[in-house]
């Protein structure tokens, strides 16, 4: 366990140059983002008001100084206040990130579980009618935009002329019942939307693994195909599956699912990020970029340490 923690820590330290690079690239991109001074100064503002707003926002400072200030904010993890609402950025993130996670995690888990189960079936009966049906369903799912899936789910489960089981939109996490009512349709949409991509990925992973010599050996010893898949192949695929899952988590927290949050009226981080990007709210953007870079660095480190723990051969390479 101590080795595992040390490995994660080392990887995290190694990620520092990456974080610095991400901060520089994102800062340059943010410098090209919409100039908020015109909007904040108001529609009828003249030259004086706009110039005053630019000074207040620090746009008149040279870029290098603004970048150093950004690095200072990262070091302190204090990004000040959102330009739009005036709310503290850390408060905003603390309020919205858990909402995004609570709204998207069930759909994420369900989508992967469904995809894994379907991929097992497709791999077990590869190149049969069942496999073709599942592959066709996955292709159809991948061709459909998530917007269509969301609107269809709302029409089926929530609309007054549909099943009318759940609210069309809104968010209530104050009780288990409220949460389940509000998360049910977003979960369904996310699971359906995500399962198609994951099914293709897992199926191809399994089919490749089924070609491995140890599988042929197990089959030669008379082990049933289903048993080989579950007892031999699946454990060997865990590092790849875990890596895919871990890599998805930062996106889940940081960007949530913008479409899901917008269409279902969920006050999460995805929507906040989108509005900050289109509106040029740099303090929020800086915080989100930093948070996502940190989460990715942590995820990379965890995935690496996990893979090495699961497969000792990696240490020898």
Partner 1 sequence: MRTRSARTGILLLGLLAGCGGDAPPAAPPLKVYRHSEDGAPASLDPAQASTVHAVLIARSLYDTLYAYRYLARPYVLKPNLAEAMPEVSADGRVYRIRLKAGVRFVDDAVFAGGRGRSVTAQDAVYSILRHFHPDSRGQGAWAWRGRILGLDDWQRAGADFDRPPEGLRALDARTLEIRLLQPYPRLVHTLALALAAVVPREAVERYGREFGVHPVGSGPFRLLSFDSARAVLARNEQFRREPLDLAAEGFDPVRHAGLGLEALDGRVSPFVDRVLIDWVPEPAARWTSFNKAAEIQYTVLPPSQYDAVLAAREPLALRPEYAQRFVAHAALENSLVYTSFNLEDAAIGISGDPERDARRRALRCAIVKAFDWPARNARFYGGLGRVFSGALTPSLAEFDPALPAPARDVKGARALLARHGWTAQSLPALEHAIPGGPLYRDMHEQLAGFLIDIGWPAGKIRARSYPSFGDFDRATRQKRAQLFTRASHLDVPDAAAAMQLFYGPYAAPGPNTSNYRNAEFDRLYERAAMLPPGAERTALYRRMNTLLIDDCVGVLALARTHLHLWHRGVRMLPDRDSANGFWLRYVAVD
Minimum CB distance to partner 1 smaller for 167 or for 193: 167
Answer whether 72's CB lies under 8 Å from 80's CB.
no
Binding mask 77-96 for partner 1 (x = CB under 8 A): ----x--xxxxx------xx
Of the candidates 10, 52, 68, 140, which one interacts with partner 1 according to CB under 8 A? Answer: 52
Instruction: Considering only residues 253 through 292, tell me which ones interact with partner 1, judged by CB under 8 A.
Output: 261-267, 271-272, 275, 278-280
Task: Report the Cα 33 to chain-centroid distance in Å.
Answer: 23
Interaction between residue 7 and partner 1 (CB under 8 A): no
Nearer to partner 1, 130 or 168 (CB): 168
CB of 186 to partner 1, least distance (A): 12
Residue 92 Cα distances to 102, 140, 233, 235, 242, angstroms: 16, 38, 44, 40, 30
Q: Which of 8, 19, 50, 240 binds partner 1 (CB under 8 A)?
A: 50
Is residue 171 close enough to count as binding partner 1 by CB under 8 A?
yes
Q: How far is the CB of 74 from partner 1 (least distance, A)?
A: 20
Helix %, strand %, coil % for the chain, to 5? Answer: 80, 0, 20
Residues 147-166 that bind partner 1 (CB under 8 A): 151, 154-155, 158-161, 164
Q: What is the DSSP letter of 144?
A: S
174 makes contact with partner 1 (CB under 8 A): no
Residue 194 in tokens = 């995500």
* b/e code 89-98 from CB counts within 10 Å (16+ = b): beebbeebbe
243 sits near partner 1 (criterion: CB under 8 A)? no
97 makes contact with partner 1 (CB under 8 A): no
User: What minimum distance in Å lies between the beta carbon of 31 and partner 1?
Assistant: 14
Q: Nearest approach, Cβ of 156 to partner 1 (angstroms)?
A: 11
Q: Binding to partner 1 by residue 223, rule CB under 8 A? A: no
Q: 3-class SS at 233?
A: helix
**Of residues 164 and 311, the one with the C-beta less far from partner 1:** 164
Residue 75's nearest CA partner among 273, 285, 250, 290 is 290
Sign of CA dihedral 130, 135, 138, 143: negative
161-191 b/e with 16+ CB inside 10 Å = b?
Answer: eeeeebbbeebeeeeeeebeebbbbbbbbbb
- Is 8 among the residues that bind partner 1 (CB under 8 A)? no
d(CA 104, CA 275): 19
What is the rounded CA–CA span in Å between residue 285 and residue 93? 11
58: region left, alpha or beta (phi > 0 left; psi from -120 to 50 alpha):
left
- Does 36 help bind partner 1 (rule: CB under 8 A)? yes
The yes or no reply on residue 181 touching partner 1 (CB under 8 A) is no
CB of 180 to partner 1, least distance (A): 17
Contact positions vs partner 1 (CB under 8 A): 34-36, 38-47, 49-50, 52-53, 55-56, 81, 84-88, 95-96, 151, 154-155, 158-161, 164, 167-171, 261-267, 271-272, 275, 278-280
């Amino acid at each position: 366990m101590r080795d595992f923690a040390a490995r994660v820590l080392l990887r995290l330290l190694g990620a520092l140059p990456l974080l610095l690079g991400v901060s520089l690239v994102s800062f340059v991109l943010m410098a090209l983002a919409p100039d908020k001074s015109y909007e904040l100064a108001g529609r009828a503002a003249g030259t004086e008001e706009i110039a005053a707003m630019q000074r207040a926002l620090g746009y008149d400072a040279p870029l290098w100084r603004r970048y150093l200030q950004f690095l200072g904010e990262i070091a302190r993890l204090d990004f000040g206040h959102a330009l739009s609402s005036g709310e503290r950025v850390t408060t905003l993130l603390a309020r919205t990130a858990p909402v995004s996670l609570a709204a998207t995690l069930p759909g994420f888990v369900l989508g992967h579980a469904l995809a894994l189960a379907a991929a097992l079936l497709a791999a077990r009966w590869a190149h049969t009618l069942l496999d073709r049906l599942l592959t066709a369903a996955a292709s159809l799912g991948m061709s459909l935009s998530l917007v269509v899936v969301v609107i269809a789910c709302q029409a089926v489960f929530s609309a007054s002329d549909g099943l009318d089981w759940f609210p069309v939109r809104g968010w209530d996490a104050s009780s288990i019942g409220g949460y389940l009512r509000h998360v049910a349709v977003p979960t369904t949409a996310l699971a359906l939307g995500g399962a198609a991509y994951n099914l293709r990925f897992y199926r191809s992973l399994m089919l490749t693994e089924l070609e491995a010599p140890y599988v042929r050996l197990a089959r030669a010893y008379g082990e049933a195909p289903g048993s080989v898949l579950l007892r031999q192949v699946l454990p060997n695929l865990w590092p790849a599956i875990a890596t895919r899952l871990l890599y998805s988590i930062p996106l889940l927290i940081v960007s949530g699912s913008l479409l899901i949050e917008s269409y279902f009226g969920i006050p999460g981080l995805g929507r906040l990020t989108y509005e900050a990007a289109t509106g040029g709210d740099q303090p929020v953007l800086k915080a989100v970029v930093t948070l996502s870079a940190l989460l990715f660095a942590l995820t990379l480190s965890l995935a690496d340490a996990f893979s090495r723990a699961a497969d000792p051969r990696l240490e020898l390479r």
